[in-house]
Amino acid sequence: MSVERTLTILKPDCVRKGLIGEVTKRIQEAGFHIVAMKMMHLSSTTAGGFYEVHRERPFFGELCDFMSSGPCVPMVLEKENAVADFRTFIGATNPAEAEAGTIRADFADSVGENIIHGSDSVENGKIESNYFFAESEIVANKG
Ligand code: CMP
């Protein structure tokens, strides 16, 4: 297994619920190293650019409204097998289908407001990390 990077976003519902600390603690306890992190309030256009692949989906407008409804916290995480392990760690997109003990099962209200994002492939992890962070903003961190 090789060391990979994945992009996560603690979404506006995570921030509103005061869960930045709890979710970040769980991320670190699960062995993911935070190598970049910032708080941002996305515009609807910036959110739409990030979710470009979903532009034709019926929920796209709702998704952009939600993702621009308050601040969020994008992070780049590093770990062996980070992409697949993080998807397992956060649980299914629909929290009703997420395994017990996952972030979405524990904290998310609905498929639209599901607390956290995780890249779905190594390639998208790179593309998505580049969407929020310059290479110079990504640091070495084993903590
Ligand atoms: P995420 O993993 O960030 O990637 C795409 C997002 O689209 C997904 O989480 C959900 O928040 C959102 N999404 C997917 N399906 C639906 C849906 N049926 N209705 C509303 N939002 C959705």
CA distance 116 to 74: 9
User: What is the identity of the amino acid at 113?
Assistant: E
What's the maximum distance between 2 C-alpha atoms anywhere in the chain? Answer: 41
Q: Which CATH architecture has domain 3-40+73-137?
A: 2-Layer Sandwich (3.30)
User: What is the identity of the amino acid at 45?
Assistant: T
pTM > 0.95: yes or no: yes
How far apart are the CA of 93 and the centre of ligand 1, in A? Answer: 7
Q: Which of 11, 63, 104, 117 to mutate to test the pocket of ligand 1 (most atoms within 8 A of CB)?
A: 63
Tokens of 76: 């780049």
User: What is the identity of the amino acid at 52?
Assistant: E
Is the pLDDT score of 1 beyond 90? Answer: no
- Tell me the pLDDT tens digit for each residue of 3-56: 999 999 999 999 999 999 999 999 999 999 999 999 999 999 999 999 999 999
